[in-house]
Structure 1
Amino acid sequence: MNSIVSASTIGATSKAASNEVVRLVDVHRHFGATPALDGISLTVHGGEILGIIGRSGAGKSTLIRCLNGLERPDSGEIEIEGRSIVGLDEKDLQPLRRRVGMIFQHFNLLSSRTVEENVALPMKIAGIAKAERLTRAHELLELVGLADKAKTYPSSLSGGQKQRVGIARALAARPALLLSDEATSALDPETTRSILTLLKDINRKLGLTIVLITHEMEVVRNIADRVAVIDAGRIVEEGQVWSVFADPKAPITQSLLSGSRPQLPEHIAARLSLTTGGEAILSIDMAGPAAQGAVFADLSAALPQSFRLVHGGIDHIQNQPVARFFIAVPTRDPALKDKVLQFLTARSARVEVLGYDTDHV
């Protein structure tokens, strides 16, 4: 049914729109003496996918519960579609919650209701007539690829199918914002990819704004437009996904990315020393046009026999080349390392001397 794939049907905003669907300003939330959110300021624009990533206990779940009104901040401002939700009573929060869809890690489906009844439940609560809610439930099930499962019960579904039902249910009330709380962490890698593809497809077709909470950098890499890294209740890094992957600045971001970016082989890292001698091991990070250039060919031509390539490669994130390499520079010429560093930094590379491998002389 084509009617389900229009932005007007879903009630979402255009992806090209610059309006703010979510705005948080200096949000604080404490549990006893422990700050769960410690001055969070964040904006989410209409039609974008924002990934919020952090370790367990970083404040991700508290943040998402504040966005749907299940948690009340101690101070600060939270606006959804330009309306402040801080201080609203339960009655006034109900219309807001219909504008905010939610998908959960463990699906939260009602086992006693069929798939179509689970999808239609938010509409039933909202007082929509049975015929209309069943029609829409079938449209949504078609959208998520489960039209043939309408009369079945959740117990007969796989994990991926249950999450598709959860997504359809979250879309039932025509939300402006979809919140995803670790929605793929209970799924296997293949199923995770299919769910992320579905969410990206929904975002593209409907212009639906999505905020997803995750501890998996690969989830952010595969679906998000922007990423915000949260640590100890604070946003410590934020930017376009490709940019953050290319040049992670916060230590927590570097740690979270360690499995997604080339790393110096352990047998080489284990023998690095701060003592000058042998070969200097350099890490080189480049992105955009700099990553596409023949930088090593140019370096070899400008400074013959100045380095050997140890490890690394080029990836593409959000259609942007992102490169990370490790090279070894002999230290027999004291000036050579500085010449290599100057050459690379002049070509927009970020270069760091990791140490010295004295096994190579």
Structure 2
Amino acid sequence: MPTEPDAANIVELENVSRFFGTTPAINGISLNVKRGEILGIIGRSGAGKSTLIRCINGLEKPNSGSIRIEGREISNLTESQLQPVRRRVGMVFQHFNLLSAKTIEDNIALPLKIAGQKPEQRKKRVAELLDLVDLADKAKHYPSQLSGGQKQRIGIARALAAEPALLLSDEATSALDPETTQSILELLKNINKQLGLTILLITHEMDVIRRIADRVIVLDKGEIAEQGSVWQVFARPSAPTTQSLLQVLTPQLPEAIANRLSSHVQDDAVVRVKISGEAAKRPLFNDLTYATGVTAHLLHGSMDTIQNQPIGTLFLQISAKDQSRLKAAIDYLTQNSDATEVLGYVSGDA
């Protein structure tokens, strides 16, 4: 039996499935998008992201399950019944979808015109939105006169025209260069803070999730593989899909050292330590030496801060000549980290 709507949620999906023939694009998905949060949904191509977002905006009807937008069940609504619901949901696309024959102000005003808003009201709202996205001087321009980043800013402004409760962003930065991507993500975050707008962000890039999302859901083959707060999922990924997606952001042992690793015990052990949260705020090396008498040398690694929490991957070199002392060091690190692993051994200085 479906649960009662929760006023704290803008979107509620309960056991939603969508099949194409006998193949499930999404299979038994349940999730909530909380009012005012930025939820990132990530997965590889074919994971079900596009089908999921099309079900949420009513372009696809699920074969089973419940979808509620602001408490209203939309799964069985007709096209005409969906129109007022869609006005509460703004959409930002990967390739902007601006009308080339219309000026920027006319592109932004289009949803307001369709909704029957008077010209003077449309003009005022368009001016507000152009200020919000910092493109007030582009009102009379055409899309062909704008850069990719400017086009996406206009796409965001248009999506906000009808003052939606929810903004759906479908790979909104995939066609942009890194610097422009950063500026668009900062804009979305500012809009989230200033307007209290709820954002559901579909992406295949973990770096986008890291920079902007409060919470992340990882999709794999149409099902939820993992979910949680961004910093915790990044620090302690449990699903193989998540671990694979994070590889591009996770420091790797330098090739020159990796090529020298041996499984046979030699002079020094090379140890990978993953650390986060409170444990990452303590003086790890000093504590290790104090507790075990063992000195570790830092070979490589990095620390990051996500949602005000430190997260790091460190590669350490520890003497393996005294196996009992090495074991004590590994035991200590294991107890005081998210994960500790001896990768192999090297002879001499690494």
Aligned equivalent of 2:245, options 234, 250, 256: 256
Task: Report what 1:118 is aligned to.
Answer: 107
Is the CA contact (8 Å cut-off) linking 2:41 and 2:219 kept in structure 1?
yes
**Aligned mates of 1:258, 1:196 — CA distance in 2:** 22
Aligned equivalent of 1:168, options 136, 144, 157: 157
Amino acid of the structure 2 residue aligned with 1:279: D
**Aligned ranges 1:138-287 → 2 under 5 Å:** 138-287=127-276
**Aligned ranges 1:1-361 → 2 under 5 Å:** 19-347=8-336, 349-360=337-348
Alpha-carbon distance, 1:138 to partner: 1.2
Is the CA contact (8 Å cut-off) linking 1:285 and 1:325 kept in structure 2?
yes
Task: Report what 1:3 is aligned to.
Answer: none
Is the CA contact (8 Å cut-off) linking 1:315 and 1:321 kept in structure 2?
yes
Alpha-carbon distance, 1:268 to partner: 2.8
SS in 2 for 1:66: helix
**Aligned mates of 1:270, 1:99 — CA distance in 2:** 55
User: Equivalent pairs: percent with the same residue?
Assistant: 59
TM-score (norm 2): 0.93
**Aligned mates of 2:50, 2:286 — CA distance in 1:** 48
What is the aligned-residue RMSD (CA, Å)? 1.8
**Structure 2 unaligned spans of 5+:** 1-5
Task: Show CA shifts across 1:249-268 (max 9, x none).
Answer: 21111111112122222233
Alpha-carbon distance, 1:295 to partner: 1.2
SS in 2 for 1:335: helix
Is the CA contact (8 Å cut-off) linking 1:282 and 1:351 kept in structure 2?
no
Aligned length: 344
Alpha-carbon distance, 1:23 to partner: 0.9
**Aligned mates of 1:354, 1:53 — CA distance in 2:** 31
**Aligned mates of 2:122, 2:21 — CA distance in 1:** 43
Amino acid of the structure 2 residue aligned with 1:172: A
SS in 2 for 1:56: coil
Task: Show CA shifts across 1:118-171 (max 9, x none).
Answer: 001011111111211121111111111111111111111111111011000000
Is the CA contact (8 Å cut-off) linking 2:235 and 2:338 kept in structure 1?
no
Alpha-carbon distance, 1:214 to partner: 0.7
**Aligned mates of 2:17, 2:264 — CA distance in 1:** 46
Higher alpha-carbon deviation: 272-281 or 137-146: 272-281
Higher alpha-carbon deviation: 233-242 or 263-272: 263-272
TM-score (norm 1): 0.91
SS in 2 for 1:62: helix
Is the CA contact (8 Å cut-off) linking 1:306 and 1:336 kept in structure 2?
no
**Aligned mates of 2:150, 2:181 — CA distance in 1:** 11
Is the CA contact (8 Å cut-off) linking 2:273 and 2:341 kept in structure 1?
no
Alpha-carbon distance, 1:271 to partner: 4.1
Amino acid of the structure 2 residue aligned with 1:355: L
Is the CA contact (8 Å cut-off) linking 1:278 and 1:356 kept in structure 2?
no
The 1:62/1:282 distance shift into structure 2, 3 A limit, reads same
Task: Report what 1:6 is aligned to.
Answer: none
Task: Report what 2:3 is aligned to.
Answer: none
The 1:31/1:274 distance shift into structure 2, 3 A limit, reads farther
Is the CA contact (8 Å cut-off) linking 2:271 and 2:344 kept in structure 1?
no
**Aligned mates of 2:39, 2:127 — CA distance in 1:** 28
Task: Show CA shifts across 1:63-117 (max 9, x none).
Answer: 1111100111111111111111111111111111000000000000001111111
Is the CA contact (8 Å cut-off) linking 2:270 and 2:346 kept in structure 1?
no
